[in-house]
Each structure stands twice: as C-alpha cells, then as structure tokens.
C-alpha cells in the first residue's frame, strides 16, 4: 500500500494501513520514499565462522575468541536487515551459541532472534571431522560424534541439555564430480535419521540436515526432517515427499557462488563452477516440481552482513521475486518456528521491520541496501 504506516506498541505491531492512529505520545519515524518490509530471515548461518581457512579457525581460535566474533557477526547480520536467523552449527564451539542467543534475547547485545543447534552431529571420519590433519595430533572434529542410533539419542539429549533449539545433522559428504556426474555418500541410514527425528520430536523439536544429494536426501525426506540444506540433487521421489511433508529445501547459493569465485587454484575454481552449474540445473527442476523453499545463505565463510545476495541469486537461477520473498518471510517463519510471530506486517506480530530503497518485487537487489532496522519495537539502524 502507498503510503504505508505502522503503529508499534512495545515489541508488537498494533495497526497497519495507509493511515493509522497517532497516539499523542507516539514517536513518529518518517522514512520518506522507502519500502517497509518485515525483517529478513536467514535460515542457514554460521555465526562462529568468518572468511579465511575454516578448519584453521576452529583449531587456532579459542572458544571465547570465537564467541566474541559470533556476537560481532550477529550485529552485522542485524544491521543488514536480518532480524531472525537459524545458526546451523558452531563448528566445534560446542554450545557457545546458547550464550550468544541468550545475551541477544536479554537485550545485552544487538543481534537477530536466533534458533540455535549447538554443535552439529556427524559420524567418525565424516563431513566435519578433522581428516586433513596428522592423526597423531588428535585434532578435534568440528562436530559431535554419533555413530549409531544409541549415540545419536545421547548426542541429541546432550545438545538439548545445553540449550539447542533444534538439531543439525551432517547426512552427506564428501561431494564428488566425475564426468559431469554429481555423487555424494550418505552418512546415516534412513532408520538412524528416523531415530534422530523421533528423539527430537519427543522434546517438541526438529532436525535439519546438511544433505547435498541422493540417497542421503531421500533418507532425510523419508525420516521427516524439517529442512534439507544445500539440496544440490533431489530425486523425483525425494521431491514428492518434500512437497507432501512440507520439508523445505534451503539452496544456499551464496556460499557455492563465493567458493567458485574465491578458489585457491584454477583447477579448484573450475570444479566449483561446474558444481554450481549442476546445482542450478537441479534447482530449476526443484522449482518446477513445487519443492517448498526457504532462504538461507550459509554466511560465515563469506562476510556476515552481505548475505542478501542470496535473494539475487535465487531470482537469477529461476525463482520469481515474489516466490523468493514468500520463501524468505513466510516459509522462513515456519522453519524457524515463529509462524504467526514474524514474517509479516500484521497486527499482533512482533515489530521486526526494515526499510529499503525501491520496490523489491521490481528489483530484489534493493534488499542488499537496508537503511532502517527495527527488531521487537527497538530501532537498531536509522
């Protein structure tokens, strides 16, 4: 609507319209010719990572140091307009994200609303294990080991004890590309993933998986996870199940795009670009098949606060601007468990509001230029 006004009282929206009540004691913030939107949502972030050698960060930097970095990252994300996020694993910093989430929730430091997973869960020698180091050095994994159903249950209970909101499991890896064919090995069987989903559900919580391809993606869909993150390759049956069970794919294009453009060698760059090309082809197939989508960037290995590029890439690779906005705001709210609380400018919703120059439905890149940020009725950027 043009013009648009929003009345906020406390942390919530009271009224929205072309003209709303102006209580005598109200502070008026005139943003001029800007578009008002609900706060943006990033469903896949790593607050405990920053650009540079990922494995070395987790080895060389102490957990207190990484926690300080995570708090700065959270502030950068909020200032870029992301008022809600899902932190997909601390990469070896254990449950330090509990302290980050709680400090933000208590108003001690600025940052988005965060759903946290604590340490992700992985098999021995799996995707996040320290497999490139001298074994005699006993370098720790960046995830928590669980090698069977019993160990999964134990690991999940420990994560929840330490404050996790959901569970992140590595289901595939390593990814390979041979003669134009993508392949990736699964890490947990369908039965093991079902056990994990059931154990999380016992506490009213859910499981998200890092899963790039078949058959791991199919096992995850059959087990009933909340989201399949990266989702480079989804088979027909996997896509059908995701539609039926409303399981979200979170494509994370920005990280693939970043790695392709920042590869260490020309050979690695060629491999990363080839991987991205195949991912784009499969994504177009997923969009055509009606797979539910949410927006997550995998920010951390590239600079925090720059992840609105994910919107631009999702449009570039085949979604309409409206569909991407719905994937972010409506599906993101559902995936983070804040449906009916965030993702819309409606009475009763939390007052998470951002402003951008121009109309994102005409040019989604304006989301990279957020000029005003309010979260829970508090102005953080003006």
pLDDT at 131: 86
Q: Two tokens at 128?
A: 């996040």
> Of 322, 292, 297, whose CA–CA distance to 308 is shortest?
297
Tell the burial category of 293 from Cβ atoms under 10 Å away from its Cβ (0-12, 13-18, 19+). buried
Does some domain include residue 368?
no
* Count of domains forming the chain: 1
DSSP 331: I
Mean pLDDT, consecutive 10-residue stretches, the chain (382 aa), reads 90 97 95 97 98 92 98 98 98 97 98 98 94 91 97 98 98 94 97 98 98 98 99 98 98 97 95 97 98 98 98 98 98 98 98 97 98 98 95
Q: Two tokens at 22?
A: 């102006």
Question: What CATH number should be reported for the domain holding residue 150?
Answer: 3.20.20.140
Paired with 210 in beta bridges are 170, 229
Paired with 168 in beta bridges are 208
> Of 374, 298, 299, 293, whose CA–CA distance to 334 is shortest?
293
Cα distances (angstroms) measured from residue 129 to each of 211, 340, 346? 16, 38, 45
Does some domain include residue 183?
yes
Does some domain include residue 199?
yes
pLDDT at 302: 98
Distance CA 197, CA 131 (A): 27
Q: Is the pTM of this model over 0.95?
A: yes
Does some domain include residue 96?
yes
CA angle 316, 317, 318 (to 5 degrees): 100
Integer-rounded Cα Rg, in Å, for the chain is 20
Does some domain include residue 378?
no
For 218, the domain range is: 40-339
pLDDT at 1: 56
Does some domain include residue 4?
no
Does some domain include residue 18?
no
pLDDT at 110: 98
């Amino acid at each position: 609507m043009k013009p648009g006004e929003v009345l906020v009282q406390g942390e919530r929206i009271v009224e929205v319209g072309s003209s709303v009540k102006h209580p005598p004691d109200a502070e008026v913030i005139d943003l001029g010719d800007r578009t008002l939107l609900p706060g943006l949502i990033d469903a896949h972030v790593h607050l405990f990572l920053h650009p540079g050698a990922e494995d070395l960060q987790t080895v060389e930097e102490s957990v207190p140091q990484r926690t300080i970095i995570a708090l700065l990252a959270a502030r950068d994300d909020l200032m870029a307009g992301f008022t809600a996020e899902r932190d997909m694993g601390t990469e070896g910093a254990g449950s330090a994200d509990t302290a980050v989430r709680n400090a933000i929730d208590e108003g001690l430091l600025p940052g988005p609303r965060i759903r946290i997973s604590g340490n992700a869960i992985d098999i021995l020698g799996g995707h996040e294990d320290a497999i490139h180091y001298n074994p005699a050095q006993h370098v720790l994994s960046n995830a928590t080991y669980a090698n069977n159903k019993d160990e999964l249950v134990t690991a999940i209970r420990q994560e929840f004890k330490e404050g996790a909101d959901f569970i992140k499991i590595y289901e595939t890896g390593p990814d390979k590309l041979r003669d134009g064919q993508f392949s990736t090995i699964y890490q947990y069987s369908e039965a093991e993933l079902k056990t994990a989903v059931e154990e999380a559900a016992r506490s009213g919580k859910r499981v998200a998986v890092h899963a790039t391809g078949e058959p791991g993606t199919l096992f995850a869909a059959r087990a009933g996870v909340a989201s399949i993150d990266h989702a480079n390759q989804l088979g027909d049956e996997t896509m059908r199940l995701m539609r039926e069970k409303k399981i979200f794919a979170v494509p994370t294009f920005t990280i693939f795009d970043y790695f392709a453009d920042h590869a260490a060698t020309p050979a690695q760059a060629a491999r990363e670009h080839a991987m991205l090309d195949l991912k784009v082809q499969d994504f177009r197939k997923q969009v055509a098949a009606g797979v539910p989508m949410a927006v997550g960037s995998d920010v951390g290995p590239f600079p925090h606060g720059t992840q609105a590029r994910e919107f631009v890439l999702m449009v570039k690779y085949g979604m309409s601007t409206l569909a991407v906005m719905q994937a972010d705001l409506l599906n993101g709210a559902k995936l983070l468990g804040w449906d009916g609380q965030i993702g819309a400018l409606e009475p009763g919703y939390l007052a998470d509001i951002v402003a951008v120059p121009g109309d994102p439905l005409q040019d989604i890149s304006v989301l990279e230029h957020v000029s005003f940020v309010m979260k829970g009725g508090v102005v953080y950027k003006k």
